[in-house]
Structure 1
Amino acid sequence: MNWNTWIRQTHRWLAIAFTVLVVGIFGALGLGEEPAEWVYLLPLLPLALLLLTGLYMFVLPYVTKWSGGQERTQ
């Protein structure tokens, strides 16, 4: 599997995990239950990883353009 493909797949699965966590927190709040304080911090890990993979995918077209237009594989 190509490195860029791996990053994109990771980004997609992190987005799903982040969405499920946030919906779960709102669902718990909607049921009238007050989750523990640490539960509110759970989405921060996938969000940080989403930031890193998103920045990588954002910069990738510029790097490939500067490297002569050929996609670099590792």
Structure 2
Amino acid sequence: MNLTAWIRQIHRWLSIAFTAVVTSIFMLLGAGKEPASWIYYLPLLPLALLTLSGLYMFVLPYAASWRRGRGAYGRE
């Protein structure tokens, strides 16, 4: 498996972890329990990693066209 495939797989699993953490926080709040204040910071790590991997995947098509010697949109 190449680097891009690994990053896509990691991005998928991070999105599952992020969704699970946010859902569990909302379930705690819905149950009337006030979680500790540090619980609210738990989604930040997966969110930061999702941002980095998402930006990497966003830039991939542009980087491929740059490597081929064309402009960013393939018109040059």
Q: Same fold (TM over 0.5)?
A: yes
1:29-71, CA deviations, whole angstroms, 9 ceiling, x for partnerless residues? 00000000000000000000000000000001000011118xx
TM-score for both structures, normalised by structure 1 = 0.91
Comparing both chains, which one has the higher relative contact order based on Cα–Cα distances under 8 Å and sequence gaps of 6 or more? 1
Count of paired positions: 69
How many angstroms apart in 2 are the aligned matches of 1:38 and 1:60?
35
Gaps of 5+ in 2: 70-76
How many angstroms apart in 2 are the aligned matches of 1:4 and 1:11?
10
Gaps of 5+ in 1: 70-74
CA RMSD of aligned residues (A): 1.0
Aligned equivalent of 2:15? 15
How many angstroms apart in 1 are the aligned matches of 2:68 and 2:13?
31
Answer with 1 or 2: which has the greater Rg.
Answer: 2
* Poorly superposed stretches of 4+, deviation over 2 Å: none
SS in 2 for 1:34: coil
